[in-house]
Amino acid sequence: MSEKTTLKDIVQINKILASKEYNTIKEFSAYSDVIQEYIDDTFFRNDAIIQKLVEYCENSGRYLDIKFRQPSSIELKVENIHDYLSNTKRAIEKAMFIEEDTLNQSIFVEVKSIFRYFLEKTYEFDSLTDYETLYGINTVEFHQQNESFKYLYTIFDKLTYIARHLNDKYCKKELSVYNGEPLKFANDFLRDISFLASSAIEYQKLSDVIEQITYSKAWHYIRRLRNSIEHDFVDPSFKYNICFSLELLFIIIGRIMLALNKYLQSEMEIRKTLENLKKEK
């Protein structure tokens, strides 16, 4: 999938990080950078996996109406999709949680907690990793998958409202008033969080990452599926499985969180910035 880094490379990096066979934080960060670039190449610059996921959704009664300019020439079996998603998910787990300082800013404590909670549940419930079994709507597994998807998806709202609250309180010196109009991550987050970027250059890099994601087919796939789960009628004669979609959602959120860790100010810098803004009249 990726010309620069292969799935085999990611598997090897997972082993290195799991056994902590790196000598410095700088080396760890270099591995994290490789993982992030691989995610961009595999899931946001290339639509082959997303095309297959759309097909799998249709096979279980969810029609997302996502169009592609041309069919992918890459042949992927269901086992291949599993390998790409599961190994990338493991790579994000390593990049996010092996070193405690990764995304340790206090403003993101709840977000990181939700992310970890979902990850732990994938080791507890087979329904969150079993991609082969289709589940009827009266099964516990069907609801475990849907509940997990919706809860993990709340991270986008959490990030967006955190950024708006901080921007209103410290930059605009006013209380956050939303007037019933929901904020949208793709439209509002970058603008509101910009004052906490390490620099103008780092903010542009963060913008490039998030814009690449939110303009991708992977993002539209997740958005359409979320709307389908929330609003569409579920046919009881069909059976369903969104395991792959859960993993893709985890990968997208993980990629964003790693970018926030890389391009936003550290915990101490954020505290100093907020304190200085608080003193301004």
Report DSSP letters for 28-49, one per residue: HHHHHHHHHHHHIIIIIS--HH
The C-alpha atoms of residue 222 and residue 229 are separated, in whole angstroms, by 10
Look at 176 and 23; give whichever has higher pLDDT. 23
Question: DSSP label at 169?
Answer: I
The answer to whether residue 16 scores a pLDDT higher than 70 is: yes
Given pLDDT bands bounded at 50, 70 and 90, which one contains residue 144? Answer: very high
The answer to whether residue 59 scores a pLDDT higher than 90 is: no
Question: How do residues 187-208 score in pLDDT, each as one tens digit?
Answer: 999 999 999 999 999 999 999 9
Give the amino acid at 221.
Y
Q: Is 18 left (phi over 0), alpha (psi -120 to 50) or beta?
A: alpha
pLDDT for position 1: 43
Look at 62 and 20; give whichever has higher pLDDT. 20
pTM here?
0.95
pLDDT for position 3: 56
Helix H or strand E encompassing 257: helix 243-263
Question: How do residues 77-107 score in pLDDT, each as one tens digit?
Answer: 999 999 999 999 999 999 999 999 999 999 9
Look at 137 and 182; give whichever has higher pLDDT. 137
Q: Count other Cβ atoms within 10 Å, centred on residue 1.
A: 18
pLDDT for position 6: 96
pLDDT for position 57: 87
Query: For the chain, what is the mean pLDDT?
Result: 94
Question: How do residues 31-50 score in pLDDT, each as one tens digit?
Answer: 999 999 999 999 999 999 99
Question: How do residues 219-278 score in pLDDT, each as one tens digit?
Answer: 999 999 999 999 888 888 889 999 999 999 999 999 999 999 999 999 999 999 999 999
pLDDT for position 189: 97
The C-alpha atoms of residue 225 and residue 64 are separated, in whole angstroms, by 7
Mean pLDDT of 213-223: 97
pLDDT for position 279: 87
Backbone dihedral angles phi then psi of residue 240, each to the nearest 5 degrees:
-135, 155
Mean pLDDT of 15-35: 97
